[in-house]
């Protein structure tokens, strides 16, 4: 597992909370552009993330706030990826297309589309059973 993502309304408050819990801020940066919108299936995506880590341990927590489109506060039956409190767990995979094919019979549906981030990753978000959202990332050579 690479990281777990949580959409929050107030990034500063969330960073402070998880810092108090013992995590460290690794990086904070804006996220936007066509590739990002393609991964999560949202138009005109502008967000900011804070990557948190547990000292001397693997795995990370990605806290995200959405500037555009604005995060959705009410929880609809099938929430979009920018719903407050929705958790996304990102998994590193060797073959993204094969993984998608294996998860489809179990209810997996790609939310946006598979997107290439530079020559580094192939990425997508996938909705699974119960509406849970996971991310898949294939590192390119």
The token pair that represents 74 in the structure block = 């009410």
pLDDT, mean of residues 55-80: 84
The token pair that represents 103 in the structure block = 């998860």
The answer to whether the beta carbons of residues 64 and 47 sit under 8 Å apart is yes
β-pair partners for 66: 47
Averaged confidence pLDDT in the chain: 89
Superfamily of the domain at 3-139: 2,3-Dihydroxybiphenyl 1,2-Dioxygenase, domain 1 (3.10.180.10)
Task: Return the H-helix or E-strand segment holding 20.
Answer: helix 11-20
List pLDDT tens digits, range 15-53: 998 898 788 999 999 999 999 999 999 999 999 999 999
Among 103, 106, 74, 95, CA closest to 139: 95
Q: In which region does residue 85 sit, left (phi positive, over 0), alpha (psi from -120 to 50) or beta (all else)?
A: left
Confidence of residue 92 (pLDDT cuts 50, 70, 90): confident
User: Residue 26 carries which DSSP code?
Assistant: E
What is the value of pTM for the model shown?
0.73
Confidence of residue 79 (pLDDT cuts 50, 70, 90): confident
List pLDDT tens digits, range 98-126: 999 999 988 899 999 999 999 999 999 99
**Is the dihedral angle over the CA atoms 105, 108, 113, 117 positive or is it negative?**
negative
Residue 38 burial by Cβ neighbours in a 10 Å radius (0-12, 13-18, 19+): buried
Domain boundaries, the chain: 3-139
- The confidence score (pLDDT) of residue 48 equals 97
């Amino acid at each position: 597992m690479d990281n777990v993502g949580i959409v929050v309304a107030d990034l500063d408050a969330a960073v402070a909370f998880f810092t108090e819990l013992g995590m460290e801020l690794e990086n904070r940066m804006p996220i936007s552009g066509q590739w990002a919108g393609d991964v999560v299936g949202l138009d005109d995506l502008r967000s900011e993330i804070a990557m948190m880590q547990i000292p001397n341990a693997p795995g990370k927590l990605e806290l995200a706030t959405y500037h555009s489109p604005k995060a959705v506060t009410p929880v609809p039956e099938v929430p979009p990826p920018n719903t407050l409190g929705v958790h996304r767990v990102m998994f590193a995979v060797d073959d993204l297309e094969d993984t998608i094919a294996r998860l489809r019979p179990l209810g997996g549906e790609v939310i946006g589309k598979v997107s290439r981030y530079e020559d580094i990753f192939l990425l997508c978000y996938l909705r699974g059973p119960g509406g849970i959202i996971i991310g898949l990332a294939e590192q390119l050579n």
